[in-house]
Amino acid sequence: MAKYDNSFTDELRQRLSLVDVISRRVPLVKKGQNYWGCCPFHNEKTPSFSVNEEKGFYHCFGCGEHGDIISFTMKSQNVDFKEAIKELADMAGIKMPEIKQKSQAQIEAEENYIKITDDAAKIYQDLLYQDSGKIALEYIKKRGFTDEMIKKYRIGYAPKNNIISARFNNIKPDKLVATGLVRIGNYGPYDFFRDKLMFPICNAHNQIVAFSGRSLDGSEPKYINTTDTELFHKKQTIFGFNFARDAIHKNNRSIVVEGQIDAIQMQTHGFPETVAPLGTALTEDHIAILCKSNRNIIFCFDGDNAGQKAAIRACTLVLPFLRENSDVKFAFVTGGKDPDEILKNQGEAAMKKIIDNATPLIDFLWESVNKNYLVNTPGGRTSAEKYLKDCISKIQDKIFQNEINEEYNSRKFNQWHKWKKQEYKPEVELPDIDIMTVNVVKEIVQTYPEITEKYLDFLTSLNISFENDVKKTDLSLENAEKFIVSLKLQRYIKKLEQEKQEIINESLKNNTSNTDILNEINNKINDANNKLENLLDMNNK
């Protein structure tokens, strides 16, 4: 039998939900883990047509029809294979390539690729426990990884020398380059990963197709990944999905965190349904893969600005995949911590509380709009309403879209358009500022709109009402900006001091040492104080 390149059909199955495709022609009702409806291939009154989303097939217990997303399209529309995948490609929004027979050379190249990456993983694993990998091993052990965890996830160490190009010198350089492990320089082949803690990246078949390397000396970028190859596409690969797939099905949800270490720690400490994108760039393909397994997703990000932005991006990406039975939520780990630190210092119960208290998407989007737009002004409300309208329009289920729209219309009427405005309260309560400072800030905001635009996030976090007119400030534009920056620095220092005190209290309570974290915070405080002093000196000149 001729072998064909299945990458395109695999991508169709990956991007499209079998339930979504079939439900366009057959009304389906979920019962247990499967969906049921009346078979479209024979007449029946009692539903015997079963659809299994996780396994990707349908089966009729009445007439025996059985198949996948492609065979259903072929049979239900009486078209051939090519026409079926063309329709599915249009539905998925991807271009259909020429269907080509896979050559024996291609088959051998893929098998060779997998063998090289698997052998490389073994080399990296061995080196982690040798003298050259001592620092890497100490680091990963310090992060709470046991030998069992290291073995399960095949974590290793890439040394500073060109170990891969040397060990595989009997293989043609172009075959090594094709795996992304080696590059060709002016002096010949050299290793792409050097002096890195190595995390293998697996495909859905649990085969290693790429690696993610973490720096050990504090250099940036913190992580580097294998560049895209024939068998690895970063935008379509989710770290830990090969381990989490069964748990996602069993627990009826997935949890998405920001990094590989967080994902592994979550998986091994009570949250096996956890995965992570490779880097911070969550993509539409990642969402499609997760939603095909389960449309219930909890995004768990850091509570800092970067985490908030990542959450907003995730929110906009997931909107087209929402259905009336979707349960998408957002959880945040605050205080400069991440899931790894929470699990290590406070345990599974604390992490469970964060996950259980996650904010539903409809509330998260509403809070984000209130936080990022000055909804107590007509212009701010107009911009906020346009943004909400654009978000809601992404929801493909029209009935569900109308329900969300009505809910937001109700909130806008009750909270935005009342005579007495309700002020937005930020998630993290910050110390109040005195009335004189409030007045100066209001004068600056109403005098210099360009400053308002530049420092909008900070100004909205002050929880000040800017409705009433005030006199224009006597400060120049330059000094007005210095005032805002100095205020921002002062509040940042107070926040760091509070965080420092919390860590000290926690250390005393649990009899633990957090010296490294405290030193890092002290450095941040000193740096901020120096910036503040320099700013004040400039004001006095």
pLDDT of residue 386: 93
The values of phi and psi at residue 179, to 5°, are -85, -10
Q: How far apart are CA 96 and CA 447, in angstroms?
A: 56
**3-class SS letters over 425-475:** CCCCCCCCCCHHHHHHHHHHHHHCHHHHHHCHHHHHHCCCCCCCCCCCCCC
Nearest alpha-carbon partner for 121 in 224, 212, 25: 212
Q: How far apart are CA 373 and CA 189, in angstroms?
A: 53
pLDDT of residue 469: 67
Tokens representing residue 272 in the block: 């096996």
Structural contact between residues 496 and 524, judged by C-beta atoms closer than 8 angstroms: yes
pLDDT of residue 141: 93
Q: Hey, what domains does the chain have and what are their CATH numbers? A: 7-92 (3.90.580.10), 108-232 (3.90.980.10), 238-371 (3.40.1360.10), 429-541 (no CATH)
Tokens representing residue 240 in the block: 């830990």
Per-position pLDDT tens, the chain of length 541 = 333 355 677 777 777 888 888 988 888 888 877 889 999 888 888 888 999 887 788 988 888 888 888 889 888 887 778 788 888 888 877 776 665 666 777 778 888 999 999 999 999 999 999 999 999 999 999 988 999 999 999 999 999 999 999 999 888 888 999 999 999 988 889 999 999 999 999 987 889 999 999 998 877 788 889 999 988 988 889 999 999 988 988 888 999 998 899 999 999 999 999 999 886 578 888 998 888 778 899 999 887 777 888 899 999 999 988 887 789 999 998 776 788 888 988 889 999 999 999 999 999 999 999 988 888 888 888 899 999 999 999 988 788 889 999 999 999 888 886 544 444 333 333 335 677 788 888 888 888 877 877 777 777 777 776 666 677 778 888 888 888 888 888 888 888 888 888 888 777 777 777 788 888 888 888 888 888 777 766 554 4
Q: Which amino acid is at 541?
A: K
- Is the preceding peptide bond at 272 cis, omega within 30 degrees of 0? no
Write out the H or E segment, with its range, that includes residue 50.
Answer: strand 49-52
CA 312, 316, 318, 319 torsion-angle sign: positive
The predicted model scores a pTM of 0.63
**What is the per-residue burial (b if ≥16 Cβ within 10 Å, else e) of 469-481?**
ebeebebeeeebb
**With left for phi above 0 and alpha for psi between -120 and 50, is residue 482 left, alpha or beta?**
alpha
Q: How far apart are CA 197 and CA 183, in angstroms?
A: 19
Q: How far apart are CA 537 and CA 468, in angstroms?
A: 33
- Give the count of alpha carbons within 13 A of 58, CB side only: 34
Q: Which amino acid is at 72?
A: F
Q: How far apart are CA 137 and CA 338, in angstroms?
A: 21
Q: How far apart are CA 522 and CA 62, in angstroms?
A: 71
Q: How far apart are CA 161 and CA 191, in angstroms?
A: 8
Nearest alpha-carbon partner for 491 in 462, 516, 521: 462
**Which residues lie across from 214 on neighbouring strands?**
197, 223
